[in-house]
Structure 1
């Protein structure tokens, strides 16, 4: 049996390295070495030999390291199982980003009806305008298009002529009012009731009957 200078046989050092790689504690390594080679190693002897071999650390650090490695393996296994479940629920080769909600058709807005005036603009340039000329602009909608002005005599108190003055104002909508005949009918009913009360002073039933008979005889007020 080949023996190293430290007194440890080569087979014992190789077994120590093997047990250490398995994550066994130094006490467990000492018992395993004693059982395999009928030796009498202690925990401290095994720890000292492991340090001289370059991989010796305390049992607490090795336990912490083993725990971290175990947690890492569990996390990898969980992520792998979740990815497998996701791959089972979608067709092969399909990317989730390709699933987009369908675009709903938008209702086309009707173009606004523009008001116009029955006036033929003179289309004067800005430097050609006189003091009393209409300043209503034309053109300039497209790039490079010159802006001209109406040039007709303007309305008093305004920068525009009469047609363009009304064009820049909101159209007036005539309001149609419905005249109610309810107040008139109420006044007539009160007058009839007073006359019936004077005719029948002993009770109101006869007066009410007289009012109803008069209402039935009168034509409806439009």
Structure 2
């Protein structure tokens, strides 16, 4: 980056042009044309800040409507005769702020397989044993596993495999209307 020193004449011209209400781009162009320099808009702005000229008292834009913000478009009100001053509540994004349920949800009746588990620990399981878990729900309760011979291509024995695969539930889509409504997506 090339260091440019502002001469006192250039600084005086900057102060004078700023007082006339020119933009910093116009100030840089005028100083460059007058003194045969190569100042940029940012150089003029930085110099004005160092001189204490650049502040909140920004002059009006040189182009009409340049800094005007667009006015919000209000929807047509057909049923309401007048607008009321209503403060809009911020709407939460359901994907970032999940809904908190305060009502009690009734748990479905659990199904069970018609098999008496062997209740093996994880260390006692062999490669061909069923890994369907039992227990471990409460704090400090040990978890055991079924331990019967497992079905080929599965981690479970045949009764536990059928228990873990509900044909009705697997036929339904995962994102059904009830789930989407629960998370506030619809």
TM-score range, shorter chain: 0.3 to 0.5
TM-score, scaled relative to structure 2: 0.34
